[in-house]
Amino acid sequence: MIYSKIIGTGSYLPKKILTNKDLEASLDTSDDWITSRTGIKERHIADPNENTSDLAYEASLEAIKSANIDASDIDLIILATTTPDKVFPSTACTVQSKLNISCPAFDIQAVCTGFIYALSIADKFMKTNAAKNVLVIGADRMSSITDYTDRTNAILWGDGAGAVILSASKDPGILSTHIHADGKHENLLHVPRNKKEKGKSDAIEMQGNQVFKFAVNTLDQIVDETLLANNLSKSDIDWVVPHQANIRILEATAKKLEMSMSKVIVTIDRHGNTSAASIPLAMDEGVKSGKIQPNQTILMEAFGGGFTWGSALIKY
């Protein structure tokens, strides 16, 4: 049996920080409202000339270093993003060029569930012997698709990137992945293309309240599905590394798992919602802080636009 083992993690956050107080100056909102409804205090915002591939490249360099491999050992790059640098080439190809290596590279688009989808695909390559060292990246520049005059959206999103190196191993790594989609709810969460009215094209539109309810119910189900598939019980999970959309969604998942919030890696207060980047950013923070230790069992889960949702159960 071949497993995909995480042997390195890395992350990158742009220097500029946008606080709730900063947003108070330009929007009819308050630090109190944002903190109590979302858990967000601040988020990082990329420079106008800093592309998704730049964030992804920096996170990848860290992951390669922490895995103690040469970039040339990587035989596949999968990059999850909603905010590619260009329509084409894929941002994964741009990162491959920046790393100056030669291997297949492609993007996948599953919005906030993107990193889980990317892990799932990478695991399939590994299990069929088609790759031995895969660079899996989640990177997003959500500020590039955010309307900063819309208080229901501007407060939520942040920019960043996280990456892991997965390596073929006989020791347990990814135990299972579960991915789902339901395209019927497109209008609740989407980015219309080239919308002319109000001059606001390519900006996120979300019916937050409805998405919230859907997310909580669906994440409940994915927890059950993951535990059942692995014949595990709630108490077998050491850490939850969730997509960071709203602290109240994270609390609902912890409650479902009968788990203290101290076992959930939380970055939303400082990162906001960085879409595909949020899970690998949280994973890297969990590892660097010494919270996540070898041989522990990690549950990653996400819900996002599409709708898409999914989970990965990992022996770290």
Using CB under 6 A as the criterion, which residues of the chain lie in contact with ligand ACO when the complex forms? 29, 33-34, 37-38, 111-112, 151-152, 155, 189, 208-209, 211-212, 215, 245-246, 249, 273, 275, 303-305
**Tokens encoding 1:** 């049996």
Catalytic residue selected from 51, 153, 246, 273: 273
Catalytic residue selected from 20, 112, 246, 271: 112
Catalytic residue selected from 44, 180, 243, 271: 243
* Residue (73 or 269) nearer to ligand ACO, CB: 269
Task: Give the shortest CB-216-to-ligand ACO separation in angstroms.
Answer: 9
Task: Give the shortest CB-173-to-ligand ACO separation in angstroms.
Answer: 26
Task: Give the shortest CB-53-to-ligand ACO separation in angstroms.
Answer: 20
Question: Which of these, 304, 309, 272, lies nearest to 206 by C-alpha position?
Answer: 304
* Residue (8 or 304) nearer to ligand ACO, CB: 304
One-letter amino acid at 40 equals I
**193 phi/psi in degrees, rounded to 5:** -95, 135
* Residue (273 or 311) nearer to ligand ACO, CB: 273
Task: Give the shortest CB-153-to-ligand ACO separation in angstroms.
Answer: 8
Question: Which of these, 280, 279, 240, lies nearest to 257 by C-alpha position?
Answer: 240
Q: Which residues contact 48 (CB under 8 A, 6 or more apart)?
A: none
Task: Give the shortest CB-4-to-ligand ACO separation in angstroms.
Answer: 24
**Tokens encoding 138:** 């989640």
| 112: annotated active-site residue | yes
* Residue (2 or 252) nearer to ligand ACO, CB: 252
* Residue (35 or 230) nearer to ligand ACO, CB: 35
| 103: annotated active-site residue | no
Task: Give the shortest CB-178-to-ligand ACO separation in angstroms.
Answer: 17
* Buried/exposed 11-25: b ≥16 CB within 10 Å, e otherwise: bbbbeeebebeebee
- How far is residue 277's CA from residue 44's CA, in Å, rounded to a whole number? 12
One-letter amino acid at 279 equals I
Cβ-in-10-Å burial (0-12, 13-18, 19+) of 70 comes to: exposed
| 180: annotated active-site residue | no
* Residue (20 or 60) nearer to ligand ACO, CB: 20
What is the set of active-site residues?
112, 243, 273
